[in-house]
Amino acid sequence: MSHYTSDFARLIRQQGYRLTPQRQLILDAICELGAHVTPEAIYRRVTERAPSINRATVYRNLDFLCEQRLVVAAHIGRETVYEIAGAEPHHHLICRTCDKVITLPHAAVQRFFRALQRRYSFIVDMDHLTLFGLCPKCRKDSRL
């Protein structure tokens, strides 16, 4: 992670921003907690190590990290979850009954977006889609 962090440090300093301990802790927390992390989980994690950190600082840094494209935000229902920005954007199928999450490659969605572009001349630009429905297993169970 250290090379990751130092890249990050260089990157943001070049743009006149700063690498504060709070900002580091927040980025580290997202790394460690993995995918689909809620702001609250990040806040709790960070306060374990720096109890005096303020909630507003967490939110402001999440916005900042998203703007820098180091972190991506996904809106799932009403809540926003975060994760480290990977090389490829990806999407999620979430089962309404068992909450299982299936990852969808960007290509599967891109085809749809291109069709919309052809028909409506509208260029959809979303790097994360969340689609709810019924997973194979729950579908089978519901038809017994």
Partner DNA sequence: AATTCAATTGCATCCTGTTGCAACAACACA
Partner DNA sequence: TGTGTTGTTGCAACAGGATGCAATTGAATT
Query: What is the contact surface with DNA in residues (CB under 7 A)?
Result: 9, 12-13, 16-23, 38-40, 50, 52-57, 59-61, 63-64, 78-80
Contact flag: residue 88 with a second copy (CB under 8 A): no
Q: What's phi and psi for 92, nearest 5 deg?
A: -135, 140
Tokens of 112: 């749809």
Other beta carbons within 10 angstroms of residue 82's beta carbon come to 23
Give the CA distances from residue 57 to residues 21, 25, 105, in Å, rounded to whole numbers and listed in that order: 11, 11, 33
Return the one option of a second copy, DNA, none that residue 102 interacts with (CB less than 5 to 8 A, by type): a second copy
Residue 69 bridge partners (DSSP): none
18 binds, among DNA, a second copy, none (CB under 5 to 8 A by kind): DNA
Assess contact for 107 and 127: CB atoms under 8 A: no
Task: Report, in Å, the least distance between residue 79 CB and DNA.
Answer: 5
- Quickly tell me which residue has 């994360």 as its tokens: 128
Closest approach of Cβ 87 to a second copy, in Å? 22
Residue 144 contacts which entry, DNA, a second copy, none (Cβ below 5-8 A, type-dependent): none
Single out the residue of 1, 48, 75, 141 in contact with a second copy (rule: CB under 8 A): 75
